[in-house]
């Protein structure tokens, strides 16, 4: 394992219960990364998704992919503690098999483009070499300080 969960938390801003990667197995700067998510029955979302038939929600599989890709990108940013990555688009998302407790997700992300704070990543999530999900993710890097600025006063009620 290249990075364990403690090293991951030094790079990503996510924390329990929303940190959805447990380790990094492979990494090529600016090119690709492989992360691992160990899916366990004690994940909170399994209480309601679905009782008696626990399945990891597809949106959380996509989020796991995004966090893996985000770690690769943030690794290269010198002032990463002052940055956030926001989703701007998800294209071609396909879900091929359910992900259930006991599965280990292998999250492989490839950088397709990275310029002017925008990034496009191609991702695949597999379980024992079987495709679970795939998608193309686009994100934008923003300054945390700018994003924490006080919100404008709410507009008056519509008449």
**Residue 129's CATH number:** 3.10.129.10
**Residue 153 counted as domain residue:** no
**Residue 132 counted as domain residue:** yes
**Residue 157 counted as domain residue:** no
For residues 38 and 27, the answer to whether their CB atoms sit within 8 Å is no
Range of the domain at 55: 5-145
**Residue 104 counted as domain residue:** yes
Which distant-in-sequence residues (6+ apart) come within 8 Å of 92 by Cβ? Answer: 134, 135, 136
**Residue 94 counted as domain residue:** yes
Separation of alpha carbons 22 and 38, rounded Å: 7
> Model's pTM, two decimal places?
0.90
Query: Which residue out of 49, 97, 110, 124 is catalytically annotated?
Result: 49
Is 130 exposed, middle or buried (CB count within 10 Å of its CB: 0-12, 13-18, 19+)?
exposed
Q: How confident is the prediction along the chain (159 residues), in pLDDT tens digits per residue?
A: 899 999 999 999 999 999 999 999 999 999 999 999 999 999 999 999 999 999 999 999 999 999 999 999 999 888 888 899 999 999 999 999 999 999 999 999 999 999 998 999 999 999 999 999 999 999 999 998 876 555 555 555 554
For residues 113 and 91, the answer to whether their CB atoms sit within 8 Å is no
> Total domain count for the chain?
1
Confirm whether 49 is a catalytic residue: yes
**Residue 154 counted as domain residue:** no
**Residue 45 counted as domain residue:** yes
């Amino acid at each position: 394992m290249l990075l364990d969960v403690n090293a991951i938390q030094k790079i990503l801003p996510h924390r329990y219960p929303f940190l959805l990667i447990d380790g990094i197995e492979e990494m090529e700067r600016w090119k690709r990364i492989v992360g691992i998510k160990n899916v366990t029955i004690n994940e909170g979302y399994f209480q309601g998704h679905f009782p008696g038939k626990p399945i990891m929600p597809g949106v959380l599989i996509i989020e796991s992919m995004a966090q893996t890709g985000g770690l690769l990108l943030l690794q290269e940013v010198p002032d990463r503690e002052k940055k956030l990555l926001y989703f701007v688009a998800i294209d071609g998302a396909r879900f091929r098999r359910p992900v259930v407790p006991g599965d280990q997700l292998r999250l492989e992300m490839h950088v397709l483009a990275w310029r002017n704070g925008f990034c496009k990543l191609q991702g695949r999530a597999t379980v024992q070499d079987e495709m679970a999900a795939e998608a193309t993710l686009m994100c934008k890097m923003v300054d945390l300080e700018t994003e924490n600025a006080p919100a404008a006063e709410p507009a008056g009620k519509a008449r």
